Amino acid sequence: MIEVRDLRKTFTTPAAQVQALAGVDLTVRQGDIFGIVGFSGSGKSTLLRCINLLERPDSGTVTLAGRETTALDRHQLGLLRRKVGMIFQHFHLFDARTVRANIAYPLEIAGIGNRAIGRRVGELASLVGITEKLDAYPGQLSGGQKQRVAIARALANEPKVLLSDEATSALDPETTWSILQLLKDINRNMGLTIALVTHELDVVRAVCNRVAVLESGRIVETGDVGTVFGNPRSPAARRLVAISTGFREGTLFTDGGGI
Amino acid sequence: MNQFSTLLAQGLQDTVYMTLLASAIGMLIGLPLGAVLTITSGNHALESPRINRGLGVAVNMGRSFPSLILIILLLPLSRLLVGTTLGPTAALVPLSMEMAPFIARVSENAFKEVDKGKIEAALAMGTGPWAMVCKVLVPEALPSLVRGTTLIVISTLGLTAIAGCIGAGGLGSLAIRYGYQRFRTDIMVATVALLILLVTGIQLTGNLIARHIGRRRHIYE
């Protein structure tokens, strides 16, 4: 579904050159919930943003649903992006629009008629469980509710792929869990392929079937979640797992469970 | 006394007429320029360094002229479009042309205040340049645009006083012809008082509208 070949990207700042991606190869299969993990600065967000070309790679190719995105012109890319949903850490809803109008936005720009939009918005709102807030503005919603609206908006044009850039990183654990359940349900019921960037291993454990570990712009380990986390081979994956279990044991200990 | 109030009423009417229409025409030109300046900038819907730079230079040139000189330079254009170089209607041409580049920058500033994340989200949904301006930038920047409009209208008001020096009419012209040249202190004081009232009124209205929009969206600053 998503094929990334030898992707390279260097950011040039006045102070230095930062190589964010140093030749990344990645394959996300149809129906996967694919986790991309790594420490801060490992290039995981850049990788995700290269998939729908929010970031333009210096070299390499990205193939999405059989089309090479890196070869498309501006207009074709716009059309392709309508079939790729994306959600963000800070939601990025339109403050000027009600929940209803936010969900309707991608349908409006795709030129869909008002009656069809109304029907579709209703379906999406009940899918993400936000029906009673349709006339509220984003300013009136909690973080979890905003992310639900963002998910509905991302799914409006029935995309085949959903890109998730740290979508749960600004949410509390309970809300995170409910959003992850929602993503899992959507993946199962609609066959939606999800590529998900996170620095929280628990998120990957909870929803992903496959995972890639990124360090310094390279994929150092990839495979099924159970295999990678059960028996991490790369130093980066080992460190991630060690930190995550370290936290967990610490928590058990304070609860008295460690005694 | 009668002549006094007739003069002031006429001056006020001309000033309000020039201010509102010149602001409106200026915005018809300046707002689209501001939008193009925004969407042709980096990582936006119509990224194009060449158009962006060219337009930026043109706008800067327009803003570099001293107001009075630009007004004088544009008088032949007034004669061409309106048929005369005297009176408030003739003044609309140079006033709106003078305001347009300023309005372009004010609206560019408002558009650039829109959170980059929202722009990215819009781009990720396949938003084209036209929808970016009409459905994202203008609605999201509306409170800033309203505050900017307040600034624009008040600047135009100030400019009408300068245009009054060379035959535009209005309160500025009264202040010069009567207050200054004929030593009519009463008229000078009255025109300045009226201008203060106008500025205050415009500012209050702008603030009120901007706050109303913010409240409706449940954004409290």
Q: Which residues of B touch A82 (CB under 8 A)?
A: 125-126
Half-sphere exposure for A125 (CA within 13 Å, toward CB): 20
Q: For residue A258, is pLDDT > 50?
A: no
Whether B140 contacts chain A with CB within 8 A: yes
B143 with B206: CB under 8 angstroms? no
Which pLDDT score, from 0 to 100, does residue A252 have?
A: 52
Nearest CA in chain A to B141: A96
Fold of B2-216: MetI-like fold (1.10.3720)
Region B24-28 average pLDDT: 97
Tell me which residue in A75, A109, A137 faces B125 most closely, judged by beta carbons: A109
Tell me which residue in B120, B126, B140 faces A94 most closely, judged by beta carbons: B140
Pick from B47, B125, B144 the residue to mutate for testing the A interface (most A CBs within 10 Å): B125
Which pLDDT score, from 0 to 100, does residue B165 have?
A: 84
| Averaged confidence pLDDT in chain A | 92
Strands, E assignment, chain B? none
Which pLDDT score, from 0 to 100, does residue A247 have?
A: 73
Q: Rounding to the nearest 10 degrees, give the CA dihedral for residues B154, B158, B161, B162.
A: -140
Residue ranges and CATH numbers for the domains of chain A are: 1-83+161-225 (3.40.50.300), 94-158 (no CATH)
Pick from A12, A92, A165 the residue to mutate for testing the B interface (most B CBs within 10 Å): A92
Please compute Rg for chain B using Cα positions. 20
This complex has an ipTM of 0.91
User: Does the distance separating the beta carbons of A137 and B216 come in below 8 Å?
Assistant: yes
* Of A189, A256, A188, the residue nearest A33 (C-alpha): A188
Q: Which residues of A touch B216 (CB under 8 A)?
A: 137
Pick from A12, A72, A105 the residue to mutate for testing the B interface (most B CBs within 10 Å): A105
User: Does the distance separating the beta carbons of B123 and A139 come in below 8 Å?
Assistant: no
User: Does the distance separating the beta carbons of B135 and A109 come in below 8 Å?
Assistant: yes
* DSSP symbol at A27: E
Q: How far is B216 from chain A (nearest CA, A)?
A: 8
pLDDT tens digits, B95-141: 999 999 999 999 999 999 999 999 999 999 999 999 999 999 999 99
**What residue spans define the domains of chain B?**
2-216
Q: Which residues of A touch B145 (CB under 8 A)?
A: none
pLDDT tens digits, B136-165: 999 999 999 999 999 999 999 999 998 988
B172 with B162: CB under 8 angstroms? yes
User: Does the distance separating the beta carbons of B125 and A81 come in below 8 Å?
Assistant: yes
Between the alpha carbon of residue B193 and those of residues A174, B76, B179, B190, the distances in Å are: 61, 33, 13, 5
Sign of the torsion formed by the C-alpha atoms of A8, A62, A203 and A147: positive
* DSSP symbol at A71: G
Which pLDDT score, from 0 to 100, does residue A254 have?
A: 54
Written as one letter, the residue type at A219 is I
A48 with A212: CB under 8 angstroms? no
What is the rounded CA–CA span in Å between residue B34 and residue B112? 10
Q: What are phi and psi of B113, to 5 degrees?
A: -75, -15
Q: How many other CB atoms sit within 10 Å of the CB of residue A142?
A: 12
Which pLDDT score, from 0 to 100, does residue A250 have?
A: 66
What is the rounded CA–CA span in Å between residue B66 and residue B163? 12
Q: How far is A234 from chain B (nearest CA, A)?
A: 33
- 3-state secondary structure string, A67-127? EEHHHCCHHHHHHHHCCEEEEECCCCCCCCCCHHHHHHHHHHHCCCCHHHHHHHHHHHHHH
pLDDT tens digits, B180-221: 899 999 999 999 999 999 999 999 999 999 999 999 999 876
Q: How many CB pairs under 8 A join A and B?
A: 70
User: Does the distance separating the beta carbons of A106 and B124 come in below 8 Å?
Assistant: no
* Of B144, B169, B164, B152, the residue nearest B23 (C-alpha): B152
A64 with A57: CB under 8 angstroms? no
Region B27-35 average pLDDT: 97
Q: Which residues of B touch A137 (CB under 8 A)?
A: 216-218
Whether A88 contacts chain B with CB within 8 A: yes
What is the rounded CA–CA span in Å between residue A138 and residue A157? 21
Whether B221 contacts chain A with CB within 8 A: no
| Averaged confidence pLDDT in chain B | 94
